[in-house]
Amino acid sequence: MNIKKRFAKISHLLFVTVCLIHLIPNKTVKPDEFLYTLGFAVIVEIGLIAVCAAAKKPSTMNLPCDIAAFLYSLLIVWTLATSKFSLLKEMLFPPPGVVFKQLITDIPQLLPHIGSSLALVGKGYALALVIAVPLGLILGTAVRAGSAATYVSKFIGAIPPVVYIPYGIALLPSFRAVSVMVIFLASFWPILAATMSGVLYIEKRIVDSARVLNVGKFETLCKIILPASLPQIFTGMGQGLTVSFILLTSAEMIGARSGMGYYVKNYSDLGNYTRTIVGVLVIGIVISLVFFLFNKLQKFALRWR
């Protein structure tokens, strides 16, 4: 690849635009705000240049370039609409630099909230996983139990788990326990249903191969049925993880004293919308990171496909 192919990209042009619009005088006076916007853009740009310089083929550059272009466009519109032309109400829509600055100053305060949220999801989700997968494998293998369980899990799985929150509050001693319970319930049914359908759709030739090899009952479950239904199980795990985060943030907004959802709810109640936006951004970043790791794990576990 020549230099032109490697670096002649719309994304870089947009980066320059982000820098240049700061020559337009501010409508609102926020002395150091633009430094944070520029700082953010420069970090993105350095990353992008590094990726482009290291890319072996043009197609690997597409996704990073598109993401950067999206971020720059957002920054341009956001900056123009706020600090430059004051098109939006400043209290509800703070300029990007103000948000970035708040994000950086709030990191020490945010980390415990993130930790608290991840601990809740981790507990509820892990509990669902270690119960739903073995149960699904066993129910899926037992033909009669399996078909009944399919209907039951369809029925219970259709109930939005948010409705358990009030009952959970009456039932359980602490709000953290309630959160773990609803996260558990929310992820349990999709994982169970996916595991059972995974077992149900195992190809006959795989089962026959295991039978002629006289593989024992328990070993068949662990070494044949489990890996054979793993692709489906991962689909269910992904769904479970998605609803876990929905439930987590809902629960935290209803009654928690810590967590990312609480941070957002608390500051919007106080009318601090800069921090509300910071909270929303942080939730987005954390969930994206979790799913990034989840996808890596899935890719590794299913590398034989």
Partner 1 sequence: MSKIDIQNLSVTYEERGDLFTALSDVSFSVNDGEFVSVIGSSGCGKSTLLSVLEGLRTPTSGTVLIDGKPLTGTGLDRGVVFQQYSLFPWMTARGNVAFGIKQTRKGFTHKQRLEIADEYLEKVGLSEASNRYPSRLSGGMQQRVAIARALAMDTDILLMDEPFGAVDAKNRVILQELLLRLWQNEQKHKTVVFITHDIDEAIFLSDRVIMFTESPGTVSKDISVPFPRPRERAALLHSPDYADFRSNLTTLFFDTEAKIGETEEDWVVI
56 or 305, CB closer to partner 1?
Answer: 305
Q: How far is CA 24 from the centre of its chain?
A: 37
CB 163 within 8 A of CB 154: no
CB of 302 to partner 1, least distance (A): 8
155 or 201, CB closer to partner 1?
Answer: 201
Interface with partner 1, residue 304, by CB under 8 A? yes
181-220 positions binding partner 1, by CB under 8 A? 205-206, 208-209, 211-215
* Residue pointed to by tokens 């635009």: 17
> Whole-angstrom Cα distance, residue 152 to residue 228?
24
CB 103 within 8 A of CB 282: yes
66 or 208, CB closer to partner 1?
Answer: 208
Interface with partner 1, residue 299, by CB under 8 A? no
For the record, the structure tokens of 11 come out as 């994304």
CB of 112 to partner 1, least distance (A): 41
CA-nearest of 282, 249, 289 to 109 is: 282
* Residue pointed to by tokens 């103000």: 98
The three-class DSSP label of residue 266 is helix
Interface with partner 1, residue 66, by CB under 8 A? no
Site size for partner 1 (CB under 8 A)? 17
CA-nearest of 260, 144, 132 to 186 is: 132
2 or 214, CB closer to partner 1?
Answer: 214
CB of 190 to partner 1, least distance (A): 23
Q: Dihedral angle at the C-alpha atoms of 228, 126, 282, 250, nearest 10 degrees? A: 110
CB of 199 to partner 1, least distance (A): 15
79 or 195, CB closer to partner 1?
Answer: 195
Q: How far is CA 151 from the centre of its chain?
A: 29
CB of 213 to partner 1, least distance (A): 5
CB of 202 to partner 1, least distance (A): 11
224-243 positions binding partner 1, by CB under 8 A? 224, 227-228, 230
Q: Determine how many CB atoms are found less than 10 A away from the CB of residue 105.
A: 11
Q: Which residues bind partner 1 (CB under 8 A)?
A: 205-206, 208-209, 211-215, 223-224, 227-228, 230, 303-305
